[in-house]
Amino acid sequence: MCMPSKDQCKMIVLIDQLLSLISSPLITLTVLISRDSVSSTPSWPTSGKALWTMPLPWQGKLERFIGEESVAAGESCILSDDPTWIIDPIDGTTNFVHAFPFVAVSIGFSINKQVEFGVVYSCLEDKMFTARRGKGAFCNGEALQVSEQADIHQAIVATEFGSSRDPAAMDHIFRSLRNILCLPVHGVRGAGTAAINMCLVASGCVEAYYEIGIHVWDVAAGSLIVSEAGGVLMDVEGGDMDLMSRRIVAANNRTIAERIVKEIVSFTLQRDDAPLQS
């Protein structure tokens, strides 16, 4: 029997600590809802905020964090070669507010700008998706494998409308959706969370997921889970996916991915790693 290394044991303990810190506040989370805003703003208890300053069980440079909360606090969102945690403590806040049953904790860990492991915990489903580079992807310990479907007309495609209500952006989004629906595909779905949409691709439940407007903390963990389940990742204009570009196509195979890319009416948003506005 192969036993985990000392460092792997430390990693497992740390992930458990992170999930405990994040999951506990979900139960008592106070959500401030504004009628004039699409997004709901979570007000974190002290235990949730402690995530960003918790001590790590390593010595050295393993101290970098990227996440919505750290960026909102004015920290830069630069993916460097340093070991970095990329965390979304609640992916699907609006879902959480309305008890729509898809809410996820997303934790990615990168070294040299490459995600080395990813964890997505679908809280209300109690499903733990995990992946380690070169070691496969799993859900509650069961190996994941993407769908073998290669016919776009038999494919289910996941997407989201995003939180922006800028008319120009919405026009691009609806044109893309119309193009894909009229291929036709078998159906279009959306869980309301990028992390879970990507896990649905990895699980073989949907053939593809695309979106413009997501952030690195939404997709870092899920991107590795998809690729380790046998899927492919692309930019919405083709070529390799760029984690900081805020655009993604994740699919079960290259044939489906390239067909989706042809139908997307792309537009450019400010990158996650753009310089902070003074």
User: Does 91 carry a binding-site annotation?
Assistant: yes
Name residue, tokens 């805003």.
37
Active-site residue (options: 69, 88, 160, 207): 88
CA distance linking residue 257 with residue 261, whole number of Å: 6
Say if CB 253 and CB 150 are below 8 A apart: yes
82 is catalytic: no
User: Catalytic site residue 30?
Assistant: no
Around Cβ 239, how many Cβ atoms within 10 Å? 9
What are the C-alpha distances in Å from 97 to residues 40, 45, 93, 139?
A: 8, 16, 6, 25
Question: Is 87 annotated as belonging to a binding site?
Answer: no
Catalytic pick among 160, 207, 211, 218? 218
Catalytic member of 22, 66, 86, 90: 90
Catalytic residue among 69, 91, 211, 263: 91
Q: Is 88 a catalytic residue?
A: yes
Active-site annotation holds for 91: yes
139 SS3 class: strand
Is 160 marked as a binding-site residue?
no
Task: Return the closest-CA partner of residue 45 out of 58, 66, 31, 63.
Answer: 31
Q: Indicate if 240 belongs to the active site.
A: no
Closest by Cα among 222, 54, 73, 52 to 137: 222
- Please confirm, yes or no, whether 126 is among the known catalytic residues: no
In a 10 Å sphere around its CB, with 0-12 CB exposed, 13-18 middle and 19+ buried, how is residue 4 labelled?
exposed
Token pair recorded at residue 131: 């992946």
The residue type found at 186 is H
Q: Which of 22, 68, 84, 272 does the annotation list as catalytic? A: 68
Q: Which of 22, 87, 93, 193 is catalytic?
A: 93
Helix (H, G, I), strand (E, B) or coil at 21: helix
Annotated binding residues: 68, 88, 90-91, 218
Annotated binding residues for Mg(2+): 68, 88, 90-91, 218
Residues known to be catalytic: 68, 88, 90-91, 93, 218
